[in-house]
A and B are shown apart, each in its own frame.
Chain A
Amino acid sequence: MPWVCGAVFDSLRTKRGASAPRRKCPETGRSTIPYIVETLDINLETAAPPPRTAAPTAGPVVQLDGVTVIYGQNPALRSVSARFAAGAVGLLGPNGAGKSTLLKALLGFVRPDEGRMTVLGMDVAERPLDIRARIGYMPESDAHIPGMNAVSFVAYCGQLAGLPAVDAMQRAHEVLYYVGLGEARYRNIETYSTGMKQRIKLAQALVHDPDLLFLDEPTNGMDPKGRDEMLELVRDLARNKNVNLILSSHLLPDVEYTCDDVIVMDKGQVAAQGPIADLKGPAGRVFELRIKGDLPGFLDTLRAAGIECHSTDEDVMRVFVPSSVAGHGRDQQLLFSLAARQGAQVRHLRPSIPTLEDVFAKAVGDD
């Protein structure tokens, strides 16, 4: 994924200045390396901070059992039971599905009418402070402390989370560089653009080094470039920094790009959950196919061969060729041979990869 690599390296280059010798990214060939320090005169064994302790991977990081939240007369969550695995989990659903309510219930902002929730093995009702000390929350809406510049704000958040003042200030500088606000860290937050405000929210969520991040619509209001950079940061945290995170979004590509697992919510209930790869269905390939000839006879032939067929609008059909039916890489040949056997002409054949959109559409229905 060259563009991804480029975006990361670009953002990192702006953080470190241009004075360091440049190298080439092995994947893109672009100059990248100012942030890399070789061990010529640095003993990295001692200079590096303590290695990241393993994130709690045994069991789910968040578990909900029959959680119901009712606002007045309106149920926002209806007996939700879900398990958020370690790593990056997407919380997907249309607006009003209950995603933000679920996060706020986990933070203790909203007390459930029924049910039990645990975060990092701790009961939300019994140990809210211990939980909040170990999680970071990036809210959906604009949120900052008025009258502060970025570094003061992030350091302040670090102190609120229990870091000593000096450490909080040091961490503030580090995470601001990490999220790409290094050059703007002395500016008042109220002068920031929407994209910068999204980044500062991520920085304040990261400053105390949480074990679990709640990201509520992190790309809201961002331009395409900023959105890509934000997603890259989220992906980097999950993949390379071993931070567990829950990404709440109604944007399918955001979740699909950054997460391994997904929980699809609709109307306050869990509509589907599990690894994205599993939810996409069994191994095999989907093709868009159009033929000229005896269509009913060809469909019968395909079904007899164990191939699923679904008609779509117009005259293009979607066919799913399981790996078990055709050998690896032989699925297209199989379709051609079946068409030839039936005397039909293949006029259109295009591979189509099942996406999270398919999962989402299936889970929440056509409406």
Chain B
Amino acid sequence: MPIHDQSYRRYGGGRTSPGRAWTVIARAGILNMIRRRAFLGVLIFAFLPFVIRAVQIYLSTNFPQMALLAPTAETFREFLEHQDFFVFIVTIYVGAGLIANDRRANALQIYLSKPLLRSEYIAGKAAVLFVFLMLVTWVPAMLLLLLQVLFAGSFEFLGRNLFLFPAITVATLTQVTVATFTMLALSSLSKSSRYVGILYAGLIFFTGAIFGVMTAITGNSSLSWLSLGSSVAQVLDVIFRVEPRYDTPWLVSLTVIVGLVAVSMSVLERRVRGVEVVT
């Protein structure tokens, strides 16, 4: 009498070719965050400035006596500057545990025993933070631009400020890339997400404090490159074609940003490994 063993069976289905595992990591990470109600609250809170700006645009386009509220290119720069706070919060909330938690649970050897490269792992983790940061920067900024056209009923503002499309995109990419890689690098240095969060906050506030002290001592702001936040702000001013706020040449600020991203990548290359060798 034939019998059928239902225990362990061979898999006969299809397989995707290597190279797509980062999408699996990114998708799982995004879904994991969205399931958290507290995080959804943060996201909603992050859209409050958007609502305020939307009301401002609505009033200025529909009520002539409110014309002084009419948006300019600088309005969008200010909007992104206000979003810095939410970039900071989301970066810590989402990013602190991205690699640190995997290191705590020895998950790296699980990941890297599968057919994926270390760069794919990093890309997948970076995508999680990148998506949420774009959600609180690029998405609302672009929506504001769209609302301006809709409320005004004309493309006049857009025609005069066509550079805003690439400016918003490049500016948010700069903001988000710096935050993403800095946080991932810090996250790879520790097994505690809380410690990573403190490290990131320390990096932002400590460098800002040093710059503040140096400004008070020297009487000018040529040392703004000491502060990560100030360096990003300086570059964003240039992108939005407004007067740079510090005395530091913007190329120096850009070099600091690029250098920080490069250092972060180097740290990730050293820390994201299947085995930790202590010699």
Contact = CB atoms under 8 A, between A and B. Distances in A.
Interface string B96-123: 0100011011110111111111000000
13 contacts: A35-B6, A38-B3, A39-B2, A44-B4, A137-B113, A142-B106, A143-B106, A146-B102, A146-B104, A162-B15, A163-B11, A163-B13, A164-B16
B7 A35 contact: yes
Interface string B12-52: 11111110110011001000100000000000000000000
A221 to B, nearest CB: 14
B102 A161 contact: no
Contacts of A146: 97, 101-102, 104-105, 107
Closest 8 CB pairs of A and B: A72-B279, A109-B274, A209-B11, A50-B12, A137-B113, A143-B106, A162-B15, A133-B115
B110 A204 contact: yes
Contact of B18 (A137, A139, A162, A174): A162
A304 interface: no
B82 interface: no
A147 B14 CA distance: 28
A51 B106 contact: no
Contacts, number: 153
B151 to A, nearest CB: 42
A66 interface: no
Interface of A: 12, 15-16, 35-39, 42, 44, 47-53, 71-74, 104, 107-110, 129-130, 132-133, 135-137, 139, 141-147, 156-157, 159-164, 167, 171, 174-175, 177-178, 204, 206, 208-209, 236-237, 240-241
Interface centre among A109, A141, A171 (most CB of B within 10 A): A109
Contacts of A161: 15, 114-115
Given A157-B114, A159-B24, A48 B4 contact: yes
Contacts of B106: 139, 141-144
Contacts of A164: 13-14, 16
Nearest to A136: B113
A208 B115 CA distance: 11
A132 B107 contact: no
Nearest to B124: A160
Contacts of A15: 7
Contact-residue bracket for chain B: 35 or more
B273 A162 contact: no
Interface string B250-279: 000000000000000000000001110101
Given A38-B1, A133-B18, A133-B115, A145 B110 contact: yes
Interface centre among A139, A144, A171 (most CB of B within 10 A): A139
Given A73-B279, A146-B102, A161-B114, A208 B11 contact: yes
A143 B112 CA distance: 12
A205 to B, nearest CB: 8
B9 interface: yes
B11 A108 contact: no
B10 interface: yes
A52 B10 contact: yes
B10 A162 contact: no
A137 B115 CA distance: 12
B4 A71 contact: no
Interface of B: 1-18, 20-21, 24-25, 28, 32, 97, 101-102, 104-107, 109-117, 273-275, 277, 279
Contact of B116 (A50, A142, A160, A171): A160
Given A36-B6, A49-B11, A132-B115, 9 more contacts: A37-B3, A38-B3, A71-B279, A104-B274, A109-B273, A145-B102, A146-B104, A164-B14, A209-B11
Interface centre among A36, A47, A162, A164 (most CB of B within 10 A): A162
Contacts of A206: 8
Nearest to B113: A137
B107 A171 contact: no
Contact of B8 (A110, A156, A163, A174): A174
B111 A160 contact: yes
A50 B13 CA distance: 9
A71 to B, nearest CB: 5
A162 B13 contact: no
Contact of A162 (B16, B110, B111): B16
Given A107-B274, A109-B109, A160-B21, A53 B114 contact: no
A167 B110 contact: no
A172 B3 CA distance: 23
